[in-house]
Structures are given as C-alpha cells and as structure tokens.
Amino acid sequence: MRNLEEKLKNQARYDALFRRLAQAMGVLVILLVIGVFFTLVKESWPAIKAFGLRFLWTTTWDPINLEFGALPFLVGTLITSFLALAMATPFALAGAIFLGELAPPKVANPVSFVIELLAGIPSVIYGLWALFYLVPLVRYFQMKIGAPPYGLGLFTASLVLAIMILPYAMSVARDVIRLVPQDLKEAAYSLGATRWETIRHVVLPYARSGILAGIVLALGRALGETMAVTMVIGNRSAMPHSIWDLANTMASVIANEFTEATEDVHLAALVEIGLLLFIITVVVNLIARLVIIKTRVR
C-alpha cells in the first residue's frame, strides 16, 4: 500500500490546483469581454481624440482629407436592421404559431428541423445568393416603379437580412409557444373559444415576453450581421436619402475598408465604429436577457 500513500499524499494540493485552474478559465471569460472592450477603446483612441462626440452626428466620411463622421453608418445599420425586423416579424410569428399550434407534429417536426438547419447556413452564402438572384429581382422591381435601378442598396440589404433572421426568430418564438401549458388551452376550448380566440387570448399573452426576447435577439443578430449585407448594400459612404440608395452599415464599412486603410486615423475611425457596434449589441443582448429573466420569474 506504499504506492497508495504516495498517490494520496498530494491529492489535496491537486484538488486545490484543479479548482484554481477551472476558476482561472472562468475568470478568463470575464477578462476576454473586458479585453475586447479596452482593445476597442485603445485602438480607436486617435479617432476619439480627433473627432470627439462629433463622430456620432457628422455625416462626412472622407478618407482622403481624413475627416470622419459615423452617422451615415449608424443610420444605415438602424434602417436595415429595423426594416428587416419589420419584414420578418409577421412571418416569423405566423410561422411560430403554425408550427407550435396548428400543424400536426408529423408536419411540424421535420419543418422545424429544416428551419433550424437553414438558420445555420453561413451568411456569406446568403450574400452570394442575394447578389446573383435577389439583386436582379430588385432591379427589375425598381425599374417598374421608377426608382433608380441599382439592384444593390439599403432595401436589398434589409430584404436579405430579413430572410436570414427569419428562421432564427421563428424557432425562438416556436419554442416559447410550445411551453404554454396544455391545460390553459384546454380551459379556453372548454369555454367554447375557437382556435384563434384561444391563440389570441391565451397562447400569445402567455408567450408574449418570450416572443419579445426572441425578437430582440434577432435584432441583435441583424445589427451585427456583416457579410450578406456587405455584398449587396453597395458600399457607398454617404448619408442615404431613400431606401433605394446605395449605402453602408457599420459592419459593412469595416469589412470594406479595414484592410485598405493606410492612415492611422482612418483605421482608428473604423475601430471606433466597431466599438459603437459592440456597445449597441451588448445593450441589446442585455435587454433580451432581462426580458428572459423576467419571463422565468413569472
């Protein structure tokens, strides 16, 4: 049993060591987030110093004369994201109700499976498809209604974003709708409510905050989505005036200009846009988290 005693002698120390190691990796996750934030602040410092708050509300983006204002991209991101959300939400909600309440499991399960797989398709592939199929379609439509026929632009970007976030929003909403207790629904039916009345007055109110959290999470995705938007938005760094305009979002301007920026201030200005994007998405995600916590408490 010598062997055993040798083995056991150091176990208490190893125990403490392992605990420390695991804890250190947990703390590392916190440090990574802090590190991301400080890196963004540090790298964008030349731009913050040069332009101050003006960066947020001026519209000139001029890499030649090194004058940078981010408002066009803020506007571009907000317009594309909210437009996409507005386009996707009704369909996502209808899809979630259909899959969660109306369709028999034989239909709902395989369809949900396919939807979740679609949510996993890389965004660059959505971008490729949009570039070669959606853009000509939009151009045709623009010619019909007399808008400038670029094909590319804010509207196309919003459209592809809507298609991309739809599967995600739908599966979140469906999961929430499935959680509505069967006996609540049966209570409504037994009072003589129709299917729609049950959905309208029992299912949706019960699932409301969960659906809301899903929409906010989808918004978070849309705000940060880069590739598909970059490929179809037209890469124009000026204030957009209509939804048919060529434009840039915060993410797409970084993707387009980062490797080409030769001046420090230009690079710093791009990083500052990244910093803004980081702050916005963190806030949006924390809001979604709060909504979810509230749901659980209830």
Partner 1 sequence: MKVPYPIFRTEDLCAYYGDFMAIKHVTVSIPEHQVTAVMGPSGCGKTTFIRCLNRLHELLPGARITGKIYLRDEDILELDPIIVRRRVGMVFQRPNPFPTMTIYENVLAGYKLLGIRLKREEADRIVEDALRKAALWDEVKDVLHRRGTFLSGGQQQRLCIARALAVNPEVLLMDEPTSALDPKATLQIENLIVELKNTVTIVIVTHNMPQAGRISDYTAFFYMGELIEFGPTAEVFTNPKDPRTEEYLTGKFS
Partner 2 sequence: MRNQDPRKTPFPARENWRRMKNRIILTVITVLALLPAIPLFLILFQLLKEGLSSLSLDFFLHLPAPPGEPGGGGIANALVGTLIIVGLAVLIGVPVSILAGIYLSEYGRHGKLSETIRVCADVLQGVPSIVIGIVAYAWVVKPMGHFSALSGSVALALMMIPVVVRTTEEVLRLVPDILREAALALGVPYWRTVLKVVLPTGMVGVSTGILIAVARIAGETAPLLFTAFGNQFLTLNPLEPMSALPLVIFNYAMSPYEDWWRQAWGASLVLVFMVLGLNIVSRILARKIAGEK
Give contact residues for partner 1 (rule: CB under 8 A). 3-4, 7-8, 11-12
Residue 3 binding partner per list partner 2, partner 1, none, with a CB distance cut-off of 5 to 8 Å that depends on partner kind: partner 1
Q: At what angle do helices 204-224 and 154-178 cross, to 10 degrees?
A: 140
Residue 36 binding partner per list partner 1, partner 2, none, with a CB distance cut-off of 5 to 8 Å that depends on partner kind: partner 2
Any idea what the Cα angle at residue 283 is, between residues 71 and 89, rounded to 5°? Answer: 85
Q: How far apart are CA 44 and CA 57, in angstroms?
A: 17
Q: How far apart are CA 265 and CA 271, in angstroms?
A: 10
**Nearest residue (CB) to partner 2, 141 versus 242:** 141
Let me know: does 73 contact 58? Beta carbons within 8 Å: no
| Shortest spacing between CB 4 and partner 1, in angstroms | 7
DSSP H helices in the chain: 2-9, 11-51, 54-57, 71-97, 105-118, 123-129, 135-145, 154-178, 182-190, 195-198, 204-224, 227-232, 250-257, 264-297
| Shortest spacing between CB 51 and partner 2, in angstroms | 18
| Shortest spacing between CB 241 and partner 2, in angstroms | 25
- What lies within 8 Å, CB to CB, of 240 at 6+ separation is 72, 75, 76, 79, 154, 246, 247
Residue 186 binding partner per list partner 2, partner 1, none, with a CB distance cut-off of 5 to 8 Å that depends on partner kind: none
**Nearest residue (CB) to partner 2, 146 versus 192:** 192
Residue 192 binding partner per list partner 2, partner 1, none, with a CB distance cut-off of 5 to 8 Å that depends on partner kind: partner 2
**Nearest residue (CB) to partner 1, 7 versus 42:** 7
**Nearest residue (CB) to partner 2, 154 versus 229:** 229
Structural tokens at position 171: 């599966």
| Shortest spacing between CB 206 and partner 2, in angstroms | 17
| Shortest spacing between CB 143 and partner 2, in angstroms | 21
**Nearest residue (CB) to partner 1, 4 versus 25:** 4
